Amino acid sequence: MESDKVEAGAGVSDSEASAIKIKETKQNSIADVTTLDIKSRLSLETTTEARSSEPHVNGVAQMNGICDSPQRTADVADLSLQSGTMETSHLNQHEQVETLAAESKDNDIQYVSYTSELQMPDIMKLIQKDLSEPYSIYTYRYFIHNWPKLCFLAMHGDECVGAIVCKLDIHRKVIKRGYIAMLAVDVKYRKRKIGSNLVRRAIQAMVEDDADEVVLETEITNRPALRLYENLGFVRDKRLFRYYLNGVDALRLKLWLR
């Protein structure tokens, strides 16, 4: 009996010892977790303090060895400026390409003076397309044969695409007046300043011959012609009622050279 009691007591003691060990293990785990949490918080606070106490350069905080100093800011500004300059350069290059293309297109046109009766058919064919009233060949010959130096043609290869016919004589025995009798540009070659260039050449030839003024008439409804001449300095001098055979009024334009 006693031996049975001893064995029973021994059995109870072992069970209690095992429970105590489990309890101690749990307590140690909780302590480890608590310690780890405290260490993490301390580490975070230390990092925050370290960042707030990091050195300053020129009044600017240095973070992780990178300092947003005035020099670095200036470098960034320089890069932005260079980027803008490059964009502007590309735009300028595009504009230059367009300008060169337009000049190349205009370089296909050659301006020549009247030299031969063989040019007469081309001049007549071109001008008759746009005139308000028909002219006979004698009208062309009157102007061109008497003032050949005041007749200019715009040529695209062998094709006549523009022509101007003028004269220069004494007006009222006092003034040396130039007169633009005819100007025409092929419809396919308009808006390339061919008409303006022909007028300029004619005016220059008149100036070299001591002209005092230049006049012309054009239909009051011909706005492109009015715009062309007015851009060259002509002014509206007089309205001529029912001047043309079709009954349309004309405007006399004048350019004073002296």
What are the tens digits of pLDDT across the range 90-127?
Answer: 445 555 545 444 444 567 999 999 999 999 999 999 99
Model pLDDT, residue 12: 45
pLDDT value at 10 more than 50? no
pLDDT value at 79 more than 60? no
Going from the C-alpha of 52 to that of each of 41, 42, 46, 48, 70, the distances in angstroms are 17, 15, 10, 6, 21
Report the distance separating Cα 65 and Cα 140, nearest Å: 89
Asked if residue 23 is part of any domain, the answer here is no
Render pLDDT for 189-213 as a digit per residue (tens, 0 to 9). 999 999 999 999 999 999 999 999 9
* Count of H-run helices and E-run strands, the chain: 6, 10
Asked if residue 13 is part of any domain, the answer here is no
What is the value of pTM for the model shown? 0.61
Q: What is the mean pLDDT of residues 215-229?
A: 96
DSSP element (H, E) containing 256: strand 250-256
Asked if residue 28 is part of any domain, the answer here is no
- Comparing 99-108, 173-182, 232-241, the range with the smallest average pLDDT is 99-108
**CATH code of the domain covering residue 208:** 3.40.630.30
Asked if residue 18 is part of any domain, the answer here is no
Q: What percent of the chain has pLDDT over 90?
A: 53
Collect all residues with Cβ–Cβ distance below 8 Å to 124 and sequence separation of at least 6: 135, 137, 140
Asked if residue 217 is part of any domain, the answer here is yes
Asked if residue 148 is part of any domain, the answer here is yes
Report the distance separating Cα 198 and Cα 58, nearest Å: 69
pLDDT value at 140 more than 50? yes
Asked if residue 5 is part of any domain, the answer here is no
Going from the C-alpha of 120 to that of each of 96, 143, 161, 168, the distances in angstroms are 39, 11, 13, 20
In the chain, how many domains are there? 1
Asked if residue 245 is part of any domain, the answer here is yes
Domain range for 127:
109-256
Q: Give the best-scoring range by mean pLDDT among 77-81, 124-128, 149-153.
A: 149-153
Fill in the amino acid letter for 213.
Answer: E
